[in-house]
Amino acid sequence: MATEFAFPDTAAKGSTAAQEFQTEAMSLSIGPSHPSTHGVLRLQMELDGETVTKCDPILGYLHRGDEKIAENMTYNQFVPYTDRLDYLAPLANNVAYATAVERLAKLEVPPRCQAIRVIASELARVSSHLLGLGAYGIDVGAWTVFLYTFTEREKLYKLFEELTGARFTTSYTRIGGVARDIPDGWLDRVNAFCDQFLPILDEILQLLTRNKVFMDRTVGIGVITKEQAIAYGLTGPNLRGSGVPLDLRKDKPYLGYEQYEFDVPVGVSGDCYDRYLVRGEEMKQSIRIVKQAVAKFPSGDWYASDAKKIFAPPKATILTKMEELIQNFMLVTEGPQMPAGEVYFEAENPKGALGFFVVSRGGGVPWRLKIRSPSFCNLSILPKLCVGAMVSDVVSILGSLDFVMGECDR
Amino acid sequence: MTASVDVAAVIKQSFPQLVERPSGDHPAFSAPASDILTVLSFLRNSQGYDLLTDLTAIDNGEDTTPRFTVVYHVFSTTGHTYLRLAADCRDDRKPSIASVTSLWPGADWHEREVFDMFGITFDGHPDMRRILMWEGYPYHPLRKEFPLAGIETPLPDIEVSEETGTKVLPAPMAGGPFVTSSGEINMAKAEPRAKDESWNEKKEKPL
């Protein structure tokens, strides 16, 4: 049966109704430099019309060999490299790394240092989720969200800059402490930020939560079941979005997280929409933790003062006392002295569980340092998740997984 | 199914061939390479260790035997405990071990990464290719003999070299870098030119 077409298109005029819907198999490569792949991820896909039949993620465009580099430098020298893992939440990476190495030395940092680290990680989580949310909005066609979230992120960056001296590459922690104590009045400014942020966050979330276009693009898309999420080693909001209430801050508390009250939001159906909701709620919980930490901020030392072979003494004493000068010299040249052993520590980072497997043979340099990056594990479900989805859904799925290639490729 | 409180005792009872491994934190065991799949499926199916959080390898040094150790970290999402399992690879020259992708599909990428970085092959893996380095890269960078600065390769990209039979070399600068002379008013003279004009795309660069 020939079909009548209004357009003066000879090819279309000659086509039949059956042929009209016949789709053609083709291969499509998205990335490595494409806005929706959030960095340098490349997806080699095979399509049947608009439907994805095969998806092969190609990684490694941002591979810098961080693990090799770690084997060739002292523990403290590696801190700046951890900034560049999940570069949207460098403070959280710094904290996870330092805590892992301290576990190796069986070193417990004082409560004040722990509180500083908790505040830093939670603010980093808010900043990372804000970016994830803004970028996701753009991915699915909502530009305004991005402008709102970036205004808030800028305020956070101001706080980070006051704390660490840098906006982006903070390198704040040291093994056994942090680079410096908090500046005067910083806690008040953190508190002020939290107070003004909550109503704005509600406003931002309102832009998306009941938005018809946003819901059409996310509800029922990219469904990950509980079993799949666990089988593929998903962690963080992606795992909780599938309804698994696993949060290492609650279930395997570190840095004194057990003293703070907060809830672990979980999703129901495991689709893109649930993952978005989980992130939105997590920010509120992070603010809750920060406010508690500020309220009962402990006094005392902000570094492990008894760990003479691990943490450098205060600058004033280095310049005036012989023993401290030697101690500092040894620390800088030979690195913090660690016992031999193996330690694996995971911290609940914004993107999921960031793990460090440290193998030491003693001395100031690790024998092997494996970085278990949550983005790498979260992305490994892509070949399964994308099959059967439309090309436009792939963009939605990628945004909802909220990964960072700097961490994935290491 | 929850992880039992004293998993160490259970493991010792069920698998007497496993040796306790020195560890700074979680319970850890060394298993013979041939048993790794059995032990891990026991841990997953009856001890509640349902999440494979990490899979990696250690190069114990060029002159050490056994040279390569594969390390598994499993986590129980219900009991909230970690467990470390290590297995030495059979052969130092062509190290290999059984793949656990049948237990955890998420092990796929981890094993590809270990293969890429250490050259350990995983028997039974569905798709044993490199993941971070490119196809056709000749070295395994996390081996101890690989220098930090890297080793130069002519960078053949396998897709191109298969098609054309050629090696892909970095493109020549074709007479570049291009410079403009500032302050020149005559536009014909001011436009960017190669510093060295003795060669270009058509004329070979003099040696």
Find out whether A111 and A256 touch, Cβ atoms under 8 Å.
yes
Domain membership flag for residue B190: no
Interchain contact B177–A (C-beta under 8 A): no
Q: How confident is the model at residue B2 (pLDDT cuts 50, 70, 90)?
A: very low
Q: Which of A299, A218, A56, A309 is nearest to B130 (CA)?
A: A56
pLDDT at residue number B1? 40
Q: Which of A237, A365, A291, A359 is nearest to A123 (CA)?
A: A291
Beta-ladder partners of B82: B75
From residue B99, give the alpha-carbon distance in Å to each of A344, A376, B103, B124: 22, 19, 9, 5
Domain membership flag for residue B169: no
pLDDT at residue number B133? 86
Q: What is the CATH number of the domain that holds B13?
A: 3.30.460.80
* pLDDT, tens only, B83-104: 999 998 888 888 989 999 998 9
Q: Of A163-177, A346-360, B9-23, which range is least confident?
A: B9-23
Domain membership flag for residue B33: yes
* pLDDT, tens only, B36-90: 888 899 888 888 888 999 999 999 988 888 889 999 999 998 888 899 999 988 8
* pLDDT, tens only, B113-169: 999 999 999 988 888 888 988 887 888 989 888 888 777 666 656 666 666 665 555
Nearest beta carbon to residue B25 from set A232, A244, A344: A344
Interchain contact B137–A (C-beta under 8 A): no
Where are the domains positioned within chain A?
76-373
Question: Residue B206: is the preceding peptide bond cis (ω within 30°)?
Answer: no
Q: What range defines the domain where residue B117 resides?
A: 7-155
Nearest beta carbon to residue B50 from set A68, A230, A355: A230
Flag whether pLDDT at B25 surpasses 70: yes
Chain B residue with the nearest C-alpha to that of A70: B148
Q: Is A56 helix (H, G, I), strand (E, B) or coil?
A: strand
Other CB atoms within 10 Å distance of the CB of residue B77: 20
Chain A residues whose beta carbon lies within 8 Å of the beta carbon of residue B105: 231-232, 384
- List, in order, residues 6 or more apart from A323 with CB less than 8 Å away: none
Cα separation, A237 vs A241, whole angstroms: 6
* pLDDT, tens only, A94-142: 999 999 999 998 888 899 999 999 999 999 999 999 999 999 988 888 8
**How many domains are there within chain B?**
1
Beta-ladder partners of B86: B30, B71
pLDDT at residue number B171? 47
Chain B residues whose beta carbon lies within 8 Å of the beta carbon of residue A226: none
Domain A76-373 has CATH 3.20.20.70: no
Flag whether pLDDT at A391 surpasses 90: no
Q: Look up tokens 């060739």; give the residue.
A: A72
* pLDDT, tens only, A204-260: 999 888 888 888 888 888 899 999 999 999 999 999 999 899 999 988 899 889 899
Test B104 with A233 for CB contact under 8 angstroms.
yes
